Structure 1
Amino acid sequence: MFKRIDHIEIIPTDFERSIRFYTDVLGFTVRQQMTVAAAPLEEIAYLALGDTVLELMRVKDPTLTALEPWGTGYRMMALEVDDMDAALAYLAGKGVTPSWGPVALGPSKRAEIRDCDGFPIELRQW
């Protein structure tokens, strides 16, 4: 019945800046970008990484929501990496430093970074 997570939606404060972060830094590709006439929604960009899709939504006058790291609700998305040390070195070259970790969790490693709006992204090496 249920097959997979189809996509994750993010409403950024700066639509174009977020597209650049996810494509230039994290390697997503723009699958589709379109104008939408459904106020307050103005534009959508579907960004793909492997078989995962991120939907960035440009809305008129987005409001900032408080991010409580241990509050209920959506917490973060996670990206699997081949080599944590290599991924963190690459990100450092792009000006992105871990906000937490890396730490070993048994046979895996985990770290967290933040996107250009401060949204958390987990990095996981299995």
Structure 2
Amino acid sequence: MFKRIDHIEIIPTDFERSITFYTEILGFTVKQRMAVPAAPLEEIAYLALGDTVVELMRVTDATITQVEPWGTGYRMMALEVDNMDEALEYLVGKGINPSWGPVTLGPSKRAEIKDCDGFPIELRQW
């Protein structure tokens, strides 16, 4: 009945900066981008990484919310990496330092980074 997560929605503070972060740093591609005449929603961009999609939403006068790392609700998305050490070395070279980790958890490794709005992104090597 349920097949997969279709997409995750993010309302960034700076729409263009977020598109740049996800495409130029993390390797997403712009699958579709369009204006949406449905106030307060102004524009959306679907960004694909493999068969995963993030929908960025440009919203008029979006309010900034405080991210509480151990509060209830949505916590973060996770990106699978082939090699944690190489991924972190690449990100550090782009000015993005891990906010946590890396740590080894049994046969896997885990670390966290933050996007340009401070939203957490887990990196996981299986």
TM-score bracket, shorter-length normalisation? over 0.9
Residue by residue over 1:11-70, the C-alpha shift from the partner in whole angstroms, topping out at 9 and shown as x without a partner, is 000000000000000000000000000000000000000000000000001101111100
- Mapped to 2, the partners of 1:94 and 1:25 lie a distance apart of 7
| Equivalent residue, structure 1, for 2:66 | 66
- Mapped to 1, the partners of 2:68 and 2:23 lie a distance apart of 27
Find runs of 4+ consecutive structure 1 residues off by over 6 angstroms. Answer: none
| Equivalent residue, structure 2, for 1:91 | 91
Q: How many equivalent pairs are there?
A: 126
Task: Compute the RMSD of aligned alpha carbons.
Answer: 0.3
| Equivalent residue, structure 2, for 1:114 | 114
- The answer for unaligned runs of 5 or more in structure 2 is none
- The answer for unaligned runs of 5 or more in structure 1 is none
Shift of 1:103: 0.3
Amino acid at match of 1:48: A
| Equivalent residue, structure 1, for 2:75 | 75
Please state whether the residue corresponding to 2:58 is helix, strand or coil: strand
Does structure 1 residue 14 correspond to structure 2 residue 14?
A: yes
Please report the TM-score for the alignment, with normalisation by the length of structure 1. 0.99
- Mapped to 1, the partners of 2:68 and 2:123 lie a distance apart of 19
- Mapped to 2, the partners of 1:9 and 1:59 lie a distance apart of 12
- Mapped to 1, the partners of 2:103 and 2:41 lie a distance apart of 39
- Mapped to 2, the partners of 1:35 and 1:97 lie a distance apart of 33
Amino acid at match of 2:59: V
| Equivalent residue, structure 2, for 1:54 | 54
Sequence identity (%):
83
| Equivalent residue, structure 1, for 2:41 | 41
